[in-house]
Structure 1
Amino acid sequence: MHRSAPRLTRILACAAVPVMLVVAGCSSDSDAKGSGPADGSSSSPEATAPGGEQSPVSVEPAKYAKLPDPCKALTSKTVEELVPKVKNKAGTAGTSNDTAARGSCSWNGLEDKGVKGSNYRWLDVSFQRFASEAGIGSGGDRARNAYEKEVAAVKATEKAKDVKSSPAAGVGEEATAIAYGLTKSGEDFRYATIVARTGNVVVTLGYNGTGFAGAENPDPSQLMKDAVTAAKEATASVAKAN
């Protein structure tokens, strides 16, 4: 039996092109005449919705719909214990153009001990909430990614010395404690930062201090212990707000 000239020409042309192109453009006659749609679109019912539009991929709903007031995430007792002689017990709120997605608050104080010097303390807390969005991902997954990036960013603090990190047990669903030293204006500051995630919310609590005019610097282990206690309180405030 003799193949027609057009068919033979087509076979030879297909043999000369890469395999991937063969799959795409050199199918058998039966494929070309197949029972699928003439326009080449998929006949799978999952591929398109009624009307020919792409069916949206569902994502897991976000666990939390709102954030707590950052300046009320810690009790007055906690603030006064961690920041002696605090300037503003109510805290100073950070600016935010979307308080449903992010917010922060800070406190600071200087305890003057006369000839024994002065103790300075700074405490801050920030929240970031992630919504579930089709095409982007669930709020929980987005928060996990943001949590990992925040931990890495804190560890990479510019000019930080003796950086140490460890899991912070009992804080949210996952948390990391990061300790380091930093010299500012000739003074040696000690830092304790807790980065935690609860559901679709990332909580970052920072606590630092130094001793002026002869006062001793804060003990790193005590500073971290106090930071973990405050971080537990801040993280718990997310569930309370919802």
Structure 2
Amino acid sequence: MPSPRDGGGSRRRCWTGIGSAVPPMPRIWPGRLPRDGPVRPSSTRMQSPETSDPDGSMPSAPIDRSVTDSLRISLAVLRRRADPRRLDRTVVLGDLRVGGVSILDGQVELSLEAEARGAEVVVTGALVARWEGECRRCLEPLGGRLDLRVNEVMAATGSRTSEDAASDVYPLDGDDADLEPVVRDALLLALPISPLCDELCAGPDPERFPATSGTGDVEAGPVGDPRWAVLDALRGDDGPDPG
């Protein structure tokens, strides 16, 4: 009910909140509810594989560091495995050239298996690469594909016998098995030395490589100094110079 005030008027009582203010409620973020003990992440928080929970709810992907870009495999890791170690990848190797023929861009697709057998390591698998060069007759550019099978043995230097040294057994030194020499040798031995575009290749294009006649003018030798003409004549009369 309105109450009389000075001035004969009446006003409606309103609530201003002065003197009995209510403290504001604290903002509570998801996943940070106050509770006793450690706070577990809520389902609304994004989890990344690198920062997953130790309980294994979102395990991170294993990172294999035993094989480097130079195709080295740790012998300790290899000997702890019951099954062969498999490598499926594309690598780039430099200086794969024989004469004018080379591996295109140095790229090699390999699918290899390395298995430890006692003191030896057996490497088997396949290699795929493309080569480029020029025909030995027509000199036109050409290329091809290499599909190779690999079956090699690697052994430690101290365990190699005289028969192994004479055979194609690759040395196994240090703590790693380096497969790059195996891959490199297989490719270099398979590259064609003198490729031919076709068995019926007629040779170079006459318009691009015109043939020259062998009966043409022969380039004259250097002209002698006329001041020594008299001495040359005397030398010719006396016979060859004994010196």
Q: TM-score range by the shorter chain?
A: under 0.3
Name which one, 1 or 2, has greater alpha-carbon Rg. 2
Name which structure has the greater RCO, CA cutoff 8 Å, separation 6+.
Answer: 1
TM superposition score normalised by structure 2: 0.25
Task: Name the structure with the higher helix share.
Answer: 1
